[in-house]
Amino acid sequence: MKILLVGGGGREHALAWKIAQSSLVEQLWAAPGNPGIARHARCLDIAVDDADGLAGFAKGHDADLVVVGPEQPLVAGLADRLRAKGLAVFGPSQRAAAIEGSKAYAKRLMAEHGVPTARFATFDDAAAARRYCRERGVPCVVKADGLAAGKGAIVCATLDEADAAIAQCLERREFGTAGTRVVVEEFMQGEEVSLFVLAGAGGVFPLAAAQDHKTVFDGDRGPNTGGMGAYSPVPSFDEAMQARVMREIVEPTLAGLAADGAPFTGVLYVGLMLTLTGPRVVEFNCRFGDPECQPIMMGMSEDLVPLLLAVARGDRLPAPRSASGGRAAVCVAIASGGYPGRYPTGLEITGIAEAESRPGVQVFQAGTVRREGRLYTNGGRVLGVTAVADDLAAAIAAAYEGVRAIHFEGMHYRTDIGRRALEVRAT
Ligand code: AMP
């Protein structure tokens, strides 16, 4: 089989690593890829938003499957453009991707289909949004409607903070067009877990649950980032909870999308808050999480390719396996000093081979560039050191051993990835 993978981050490196292991694959291309992906695929100089270039290449080279990693091209309609050429695509249509691309759409869909989520209202007028905050009280969460790279949700403890967040979106337009509408919602308390579900015309297949660590510093302190680490599976998310989420959340959501004429084809990221009254949706995404994809790929024992292909072609998906199946895996992100604020680039990275010489460790590259045989930093989140082991404690230990083998100037990582899951388990 010939597969084209679209994207060039840590998520796509993990996908490329996993796809390349399949005996079904004879050729893997990545557009644009990165130096890590180049170890498993031929990288192409085609950007993720170049729909004509991607469709032309895939068609011209008889690709059997196109796998789209990031959300922006999906929300912009890349999967539709590829399907129009007769290609098999793993990734939702533009209309189905609106479940991530418009929070207002996602909230309306949930309201219409009885999917449990925070109470909310949508506004494009700042005064009306402020009135609603006063009626409902704080804490509340103000969210930019559109794509904001994971940074468009502002948790507000006071009315002053809510007023400022509304001003930031609707008056100062700090999120650009993504923030011309806001969703104001009730603050939910509980443990946050994400469930990843493959979904297509041939049914659903819950892949795994994961937990990520959004803030930059240990103890969940500091500003939000794209994600500083993740682990999978989540010990507290058991078989019964997975079945409940599938029944109460995933099935009605997918049915709702289909009823809107937008059936989902790809991986649905179900961001959940496990509240005292049950699981409720924080957000949906229309693709794998980054960095959650890294531990999920490493913990997965079966071949990913037949599953991706079945989703893309609408073939029947296999029966779900147990929620606690798969080995434990942990990803620790190594970021540039200063991230998520300003940070330098172009610093030499050493120690990847040494890190990967440890059992069960893979270093997925996110923000790197290769020049004359040497590797340099080229982004905020640079590497995702990921380890798989028989249990979470061993996976954490192995991941940090890998991290300690790596060096670049000013590198920063959290030292507590996965630790809370061990504490929850011990109590
Ligand atoms: P989102 O962009 O919607 O995923 O939100 C980003 C983060 O903000 C989530 O991962 C949560 O930690 C937090 N968050 C969002 N909505 C809520 C909510 N209604 N209640 C509590 N926390 C929330």
Residue 301 has pLDDT above 60, yes or no: yes
Average pLDDT over residues 64-73: 97
Q: What is the spatial distance between Cα 285 and Cα 367, in angstroms, rounded to a whole number?
A: 22
- Indicate the top mutation candidate among 184, 187, 283, 287 to test ligand 1's pocket, ranked by most ligand atoms within 8 A of CB: 283
Query: Which carries the bigger pLDDT value, residue 174 or residue 230?
Result: 230
Range of weakest confidence among 141-155, 219-233, 305-319: 141-155
Query: Which carries the bigger pLDDT value, residue 282 or residue 178?
Result: 282
Closest CA to 386 of 4, 13, 7: 13
Closest CA to 361 of 322, 389, 392: 389
Q: In what order do the strands lie in the sheet with 2-7?
A: 42-43, 27-32, 2-7, 65-68, 89-90
pLDDT of residue 223: 85
Taking CA atoms only, the protein residue closest to ligand 1 atom 18 is: 187
The DSSP bridge partners found for residue 376 are: 348, 369
How far does CA 50 lie from the centroid of its chain? 22
Taking CA atoms only, the protein residue closest to ligand 1 atom 4 is: 283
Closest CA to 300 of 277, 276, 321: 321
Per DSSP (E only), the strands in 328-422 are 328-335, 361-365, 368-371, 374-377, 381-389
Taking CA atoms only, the protein residue closest to ligand 1 atom 9 is: 282
The set of residues, in sequence order, having a beta carbon less than 8 Å from that of 426 and lying 6+ positions away, is none
Q: 265-285, pLDDT tens digit by residue?
A: 999 999 999 999 999 999 999
Residue 150 has pLDDT above 60, yes or no: no
Q: What is the spatial distance between Cα 79 and Cα 88, in angstroms, rounded to a whole number?
A: 9
Ligand 1 centroid, distance to 116 Cα (angstroms) = 15
Residue 35 has pLDDT above 60, yes or no: yes
The set of residues, in sequence order, having a beta carbon less than 8 Å from that of 414 and lying 6+ positions away, is 213, 216, 217, 218, 228, 229, 332, 333
R_g (Cα) of the chain, nearest Å? 21
Ligand 1 centroid, distance to 146 Cα (angstroms) = 14
Cis previous bond, 233, omega within 30: yes
- Indicate the top mutation candidate among 141, 183, 215 to test ligand 1's pocket, ranked by most ligand atoms within 8 A of CB: 141
Ligand 1 centroid, distance to 336 Cα (angstroms) = 25
- Indicate the top mutation candidate among 115, 120, 151, 155 to test ligand 1's pocket, ranked by most ligand atoms within 8 A of CB: 155
Residue 205 binned pLDDT confidence (cut-offs 50, 70, 90): very high
Closest CA to 187 of 150, 139, 154, 143: 139
pLDDT of residue 322: 66
Calculate ∠ Cα 93-97-99, nearest 5°.
145
Taking CA atoms only, the protein residue closest to ligand 1 atom 3 is: 283
SS3 143: strand
Q: Counting atoms of ligand 1 from 1, which one is nearest the CA of 214?
A: 10
Sign, CA torsion 306/78/170/115: negative
Residue 422 has pLDDT above 90, yes or no: no
Please give the torsion angle defined by the CA atoms of residues 154, 156, 160 and 164, in that order, rounded to the nearest 10 degrees: 0
Q: Do 51 and 81 form a contact (C-beta atoms < 8 A)? A: yes
pLDDT of residue 169: 84
Ligand 1 centroid, distance to 105 Cα (angstroms) = 16
Ligand 1 centroid, distance to 211 Cα (angstroms) = 13
Q: What is the spatial distance between Cα 196 and Cα 300, in angstroms, rounded to a whole number?
A: 12
Q: Counting atoms of ligand 1 from 1, which one is nearest the CA of 189?
A: 21
Q: 71-91, pLDDT tens digit by residue?
A: 999 999 999 999 999 999 999
Residue 181 binned pLDDT confidence (cut-offs 50, 70, 90): confident
Residue 144 has pLDDT above 90, yes or no: no
Average pLDDT over residues 304-312: 98
Q: Do 313 and 369 form a contact (C-beta atoms < 8 A)? A: no
If 0-12 CB within 10 Å is exposed, 13-18 middle and 19+ buried, where does residue 139 land?
middle
Q: What is the spatial distance between Cα 196 and Cα 114, in angstroms, rounded to a whole number?
A: 20
Residue 235 has pLDDT above 70, yes or no: yes
The DSSP bridge partners found for residue 335 are: 381, 412
Q: 340-365, pLDDT tens digit by residue?
A: 999 999 999 999 999 999 999 999 99
For the beta carbon of residue 32, count every other beta carbon within 10 angstroms. 16
Q: What is the spatial distance between Cα 256 and Cα 99, in angstroms, rounded to a whole number?
A: 11
Taking CA atoms only, the protein residue closest to ligand 1 atom 8 is: 153
Closest CA to 383 of 424, 415, 413, 343: 413
Residue 149 binned pLDDT confidence (cut-offs 50, 70, 90): low
Q: Ligand 1 pocket by C-beta < 6 Å: which residues? A: 118, 141, 143, 150, 152-153, 155, 185-188, 192, 214, 271, 282-283
pLDDT of residue 140: 93
Rounded percentage of the chain residues whose pLDDT exceeds 90? 83
Ligand 1 centroid, distance to 126 Cα (angstroms) = 21
Q: Are strands 2-7 and 27-32 parallel, antiparallel or unpaired?
A: parallel
Closest CA to 384 of 364, 402, 367, 403: 364
Q: What is the spatial distance between Cα 165 and Cα 201, in angstroms, rounded to a whole number?
A: 40
